[in-house]
Structure 1
Amino acid sequence: MASTLVQKKFKNILDDTLIKEIENIGKIASFQKDDIIIDINQPLKHIPLLLVGNIKILREDLDGNELLIYFLEAGETCTMSLTCCMGTTKSKIRAVAEKDSTLIMIPVDKMQKWFHENTSWRNFILESYQTRFDEMLDAIDNIAFMKMDERLYKYLINKTKLHDSNIILVKHQDIAEDLHTSRVVISRILKQLENENKIKLSRNKIQVLEL
């Protein structure tokens, strides 16, 4: 199964020799929805390549409040964990399974070796950095320049793309934590969006109407 998944997700990204090495040395790890995959201040000995599922990457303030930075999809890796690995430091992020997910874990020393010796891996890592950098800039812009109703609606749109469905199974409290605000604010804005015929609300379920 691991071999098939790695081939499927990375055959057009990494060369065949590297894919075989990943299959041989990588360790498969499975997580259920809401499981913590990497935690803040956790020493990192492996880097994750996501084979199945989605992962959300979060930062935490001094009061323990979380802020969503970006999502990972199958065929991607977390560049913030890569940065920590290269500096042999502890994790500065929390990675949480958005839904049931399967990863293959690669030893840190291999990551560094491949970066210098394998062109396909180096290109994959550099492109991942660029993608994540753009997403973090987007997150900063959202916080700095967008009103909460705009941020929330964009969040919902991104969720529909992530899950390939216009129906989102999520609690108002979970959205509030992702957007670093209160549940009351989220519930009020969701009701406003429903009145604008942009969404339809049900218990722990939101249907996005305008796509």
Structure 2
Amino acid sequence: MENTKLVTMLHNQGFENNLIDEILTVGRPKKVSKGSSVIAPGSKASEIPLVINGTLKVMRQDKDGSEIFLYYLEGGEACAMSITCCLENKKSQFSAIAEEDCVLWMIPMGSLDAWIAKYPSFRKFVFTSYQNRFDELLVAIDSMAFMKMDQRLYKYLLDKKQASGSFEIHKTHEQIARELNTSRVVISRLLKQLENEGKIEQYRNKIEIL
């Protein structure tokens, strides 16, 4: 089932048939449970994760262990930063965590250089991944620099809704505070404010966007 969906996704990317055959031959499936780390800070990646099902959450961590949310990776997407780490043999400076149970297709880094040179569609895929992630990082920087915390929180909730395809967000106040690098008290107060404005409804460990 996953292979069928993967092939459809690769065709939708415009990949050549020979490239699809190579991806299926050298890659491998990997199931990741919710909350599990796919890429850890300080690690050297030997494979690129391509999302088939589920959502990966990409976080940036400082030297003290504090984290801040950057963006989501959804079906058919690969992480441009992990591609860079593989190509340059660098240690990762970010983490990728399964936001829900995920199915990934792991591609060994040894194939990337050859595919970029050999297949125009894969070269375009890599450049597009860079551009999309760059645009998302600009949005993340803008939100931190120019948005008030209530605006950042509401944008975070809408991003989560778009990534998951669900109006229900199963997160505790503590989890949201950690991802936005603020305190639980601030998040609880602002969620109550959004609820009073009729934008959300709150339940135990669940938020519904209206």
TM over 0.5: yes
Q: Which runs of 4+ in 1 moved over 6 A?
A: none
1:4 partner amino acid? T
Matched residue count: 209
Q: How does 1:76-87 map to 2 (within 5 A)?
A: 76-87=77-88
User: How many Å separate the matches in 2 of 1:133 and 1:194?
Assistant: 32
User: Residue 60 of structure 2: SS of its match in structure 1?
Assistant: strand
Q: How does 1:37-52 map to 2 (within 5 A)?
A: 37-52=38-53
User: How many Å separate the matches in 2 of 1:166 and 1:2?
Assistant: 25
- 1:140 corresponds to which residue? 141
1:80 partner amino acid? M
Q: How does 1:60-209 map to 2 (within 5 A)?
A: 60-209=61-210
Cα root mean square deviation, aligned: 0.9
1:136 partner amino acid? L
* C-alpha contact (below 8 Å) 1:2/1:23 kept by paired residues: no
User: How many Å separate the matches in 2 of 1:2 and 1:118?
Assistant: 24
- 1:16-45 per-residue CA deviation (whole Å, 9 max, x = no partner) reads 211111111101111011000110111111
* C-alpha contact (below 8 Å) 1:57/1:94 kept by paired residues: yes
User: How many Å separate the matches in 2 of 1:159 and 1:58?
Assistant: 14
What is the CA-CA distance between 1:151 and the residue it aligns to? 0.3
1:11 partner amino acid? H
- 1:98-142 per-residue CA deviation (whole Å, 9 max, x = no partner) reads 111011111111011101111010000100100000000000000
User: How many Å separate the matches in 1 of 2:147 and 2:153?
Assistant: 10
User: How many Å separate the matches in 2 of 1:109 and 1:54?
Assistant: 25
What is the CA-CA distance between 1:199 and the residue it aligns to? 0.6
- 1:35-90 per-residue CA deviation (whole Å, 9 max, x = no partner) reads 00110111111111111100000110121001111100010000011111111111
User: Residue 43 of structure 1: SS of its match in structure 2?
Assistant: coil
- 2:54 corresponds to which residue? 53
1:89 partner amino acid? K
User: Residue 43 of structure 2: SS of its match in structure 1?
Assistant: coil
TM-score, length basis structure 2: 0.97
2:45 partner amino acid? L
What is the CA-CA distance between 1:2 and the residue it aligns to? 4.2
* C-alpha contact (below 8 Å) 1:73/1:162 kept by paired residues: yes
Where structure 2 has 5 or more consecutive residues not aligned to the other structure, the ranges are none
- 1:4 corresponds to which residue? 4
TM-score, length basis structure 1: 0.96
Where structure 1 has 5 or more consecutive residues not aligned to the other structure, the ranges are none
**Identical aligned pairs, as a percentage?**
46
User: How many Å separate the matches in 2 of 1:44 and 1:98?
Assistant: 20
What is the CA-CA distance between 1:192 and the residue it aligns to? 0.6
- 1:147-185 per-residue CA deviation (whole Å, 9 max, x = no partner) reads 000000011111111111211111111111111111111
What is the CA-CA distance between 1:3 and the residue it aligns to? 2.5
What is the CA-CA distance between 1:5 and the residue it aligns to? 2.5
